Structure 1
Amino acid sequence: MFAPGTYAGRREALRREIKSGIAVFPGNTEAAFNYPANTYHFRQDSTFSYFFGLNQPDLAGIIDFDSGAELLFGNDVDMDDIIWMGPQPSMADRGKLVGIDRTAPLQGFGDYIAEALNKGRKVHFLPPYRGETRIQLWTLLGIPVAEQKAAASVELIKAVVKLRSIKSAEEIAEIEKMVDVAYLMHTTAMKMAHPGIVEQEIAGTIEGIALANAGPVSFPVILSVNGQTLHNHYHGNTLSEGRMMVVDAGCESEESLYSSDITRTVPVGGKFNERQRGIYEIVLNANLKAIAAIKPGIPYREVHLLAAKTIADGLKALGLMKGDTQAAVEAGAHALFFPHGLGHMMGMDVHDMENLGENYVGYDEEITRASQFGTAFLRLGRRLQPGFVLTVEPGIYFIPALIDQWKAEGKFTEFINYEKVETYKDFGGIRIEDDVLVTETGNRVLGRPIPKTVAEIEAIMKK
């Protein structure tokens, strides 16, 4: 946790954004795994944690914009709880940890909301994403589950996005700690990527590194020789010479919830062959050019299109694309090979604040989401500001089903050399991803540098 003043300052900043009504912040509850007493690992709601800091279930908070009151709700433990959990801080002591003087039993959360509704006051809430929270809001506000997303407070959503998008020095330090854990995860995976190893052995090892050093993985580990499937969570393949292994993995702090998200792609056995090196160098060039372009004021969609143009130029040099590459990117032909966005915001959530609505986080009134295949999947398109933390993750993939479909449709034949592309349908995919801070003058790649040049990867895999 941070100092009490950090949380008090965040709540004060929110009060400057919203002038009337109350904002309600239900914390997360325990979620049953297969019977009530056997629960999933508890994960606090990120926005509750941002403003109230406490990482325990069955808590709730209210900020009253009219009176200035800040309230924390939760029940003190009884002897039964102590027997199973050990002594726990009182709610009053928990409140002091986050700079709140007024605490009350959890029942008071509903009572305060009911009183506000009876007086006709505005009750601001964020879009819920868990079933238990949806049911709780239905009970407290009388809004059916199916209507809650539409009824959520846009004013509160925009205010929270504004505050959480700009990372403080202490937040950046937490993210960097998680990137340093990701360094251990990824370099270990590189050293294990030998023929005959089953993917599961590597995936389990690096998840253990996360747990041993900081907390759980920040999302289910993506690790596969079939990297053409973007989010491949199957780990049953046996590594073999000639394949590339994509590892997309990061760590989340058990305490602060800040996370990392890194991708590296390596040749099984530790040595790039000519075909692998050719595609890899294109992706690396796109990664480096995109990072170099990051600075305050530039729309991230422009950086995405720079990466797309770099990929198209590289593929043209290899004979996989042809024609005017600028025109190819404008038409969307590059998306056969790069069918996703360049990156997304990061923080407590590895896709930061995605539950609030991706368009509120990544877009605004000036820059709206594109409709073109590929670019439409870009999660962050708006102008960058100092304090943003984002991912840069270009990739090249050879997806047989997509290749077959576009070829059958005769799509972009002026830009794509399908005859040569056919020879790459067994290739898989390559992605390279770093976590980057937008600074006042440019950018900084966060954390300990993780090997990503051909020479660096081959050197560490020898070990």
Structure 2
Amino acid sequence: EDPSPILHELRLRKLPEELARQRRACEISAEGHTEAMRFTRPGLMEYQVQAVLEYVFRMNGSRRNAYPSIVGSGPNACILHYLENNRRMEDGDLLLIDAGCEYGYQASDITRTFPVNGRFTAPQRAIYEIVLRAQLAGIAATRPGQRYEAIHDAARRVLTEGLVALGLLPCGVEESLAMHHYREFYMHGTGHWLGMDVHDVGDYRIRGSSRELEPGMVFTVEPGLYFDPARESATFYLREFSEQEMLERRLRLGATAARRLDEEEKAKAEKIVHPIPREFRGIGVRIEDDILITAEGHDVLTVGAPKTIDEVERICAEAPRLPRW
């Protein structure tokens, strides 16, 4: 009999010694992200910032990354799994870094987004504040006994409220949530299990329902918003559906057939083509932290990486600890 389900459940709940190593991985990664903020300036290459980040990892005792570092500036911040890291950063860009180290076979996973020149523009600030509020709402939903899906629900509601307030969605908040219009700019989940692998094992649903969070579980909370620089408008379909309905459809029909049926339904639905203001195009923001469920609530393991606008701009203004040569 396959022992994988048993092993997966064991990995999902961390032992004290595993948590100690994971805490250290998170501390090292937070220090790397902080130094990357200090080091970054217009004219540098993305891979030069990557080198500084990973130098901090190695010099603090981490022998390897938990996954390939994503260091995406300007339009590259809108590419979810960008790995080239070969663009020259420009004044006015945002830089999105999704990177974490491994320590003692335990992974960390942090994303921070910050201005290359050290100061957010007004449109960048507006999008960043929405994402930060969404992330804080998702984190606030984490506690023992809470359903895992509550994190995503909390984050997507705040994202939707922010997008509606900025005029980036054509309908109201409740309608937009029911029709999942936020997915035009937020096309991934709000997190994943974290442990020996960066996307670690463990079921998210038990007997068809979102599982309850328990002490010892570690996962990420990472909402984002992404606006393709070449996209002048977005198409919003006027049809309501639930995520549970879509999940059951995929399980019943398979991914390919479910996708085909989804496209057929879209073709029949009414739609609104809504403009995307030029000032938001090319902005990509994601904020990610690693969360431990405790008996009392939760613990943010990656708290050492700055993320409020004031903190980020202050760190960006500090002199780097490493020479730029």
TM-score, normalized by length of structure 2?
0.82
Counterpart Cα distance in 2 of 1:195 and 1:459 = 17
1:192 is the counterpart of 2:43: no
- For 2:247, the equivalent position in structure 1 comes to none
Deviates more, 1:304-313 or 1:164-173: 164-173
Q: 1:193 to 1:313 in 2, by over 3 A?
A: same
- For 2:112, the equivalent position in structure 1 comes to 264
Counterpart Cα distance in 1 of 2:280 and 2:286 = 16
**Which of 164, 170, 175 is residue 316 of structure 1 equivalent to?**
164
1:452 is the counterpart of 2:313: no
**Structure 1: 5+ residue runs without aligned partners?**
1-123, 125-152, 354-359, 368-380
Counterpart Cα distance in 1 of 2:179 and 2:69 = 33
Contact 1:328–1:415 (Cα < 8 Å) also in 2:
no
Q: 1:282 to 1:447 in 2, by over 3 A?
A: closer
**Which of 404, 422, 429 is residue 284 of structure 2 equivalent to?**
429
Aligned residues: 285
Query: Does the residue aligned with 2:149 lie in a helix, a strand or coil?
Result: helix
Q: Deviations over 1:110-164 (max 9, x none)?
A: xxxxxxxxxxxxxx4xxxxxxxxxxxxxxxxxxxxxxxxxxxx2xx122112211
Counterpart Cα distance in 2 of 1:290 and 1:263 = 15
Counterpart Cα distance in 2 of 1:430 and 1:195 = 18
Amino acid at match of 1:334: Y
- For 1:440, the equivalent position in structure 2 comes to 295
- For 2:237, the equivalent position in structure 1 comes to 411
| Higher RCO (C-alpha 8 Å, min separation 6) | 2
Contact 1:323–1:415 (Cα < 8 Å) also in 2:
no
Counterpart Cα distance in 2 of 1:306 and 1:210 = 33
Q: What fraction of aligned residue pairs are identical, expressed as a percent?
A: 36
Shift of 1:400: 5.4
- For 1:393, the equivalent position in structure 2 comes to 222
Shift of 1:296: 1.3
Contact 1:295–1:443 (Cα < 8 Å) also in 2:
yes
- For 1:121, the equivalent position in structure 2 comes to none
Shift of 1:211: 2.1
Considering fraction of residues, name the structure with more strand: 2
Shift of 1:236: 1.1
What are the equivalent positions in structure 2 for 1:8-47 lying under 5 Å apart?
none
What are the equivalent positions in structure 2 for 1:64-463 lying under 5 Å apart?
124=1, 153=2, 156-213=3-60, 214-225=62-73, 226-253=76-103, 256-353=104-201, 361-367=203-209, 381-399=210-228, 406-407=234-235, 411-412=237-238, 418-419=274-275, 421-424=276-279, 426-463=281-318
Q: 1:415 to 1:204 in 2, by over 3 A?
A: farther
Counterpart Cα distance in 1 of 2:224 and 2:6 = 33
Contact 1:296–1:438 (Cα < 8 Å) also in 2:
yes
Structure of higher CA gyration radius: 1
Query: Does the residue aligned with 2:219 lie in a helix, a strand or coil?
Result: strand
Counterpart Cα distance in 1 of 2:69 and 2:125 = 25
Counterpart Cα distance in 2 of 1:232 and 1:296 = 34
Amino acid at match of 1:325: V
Contact 1:438–1:444 (Cα < 8 Å) also in 2:
yes
**Structure 2: 5+ residue runs without aligned partners?**
240-269, 319-325
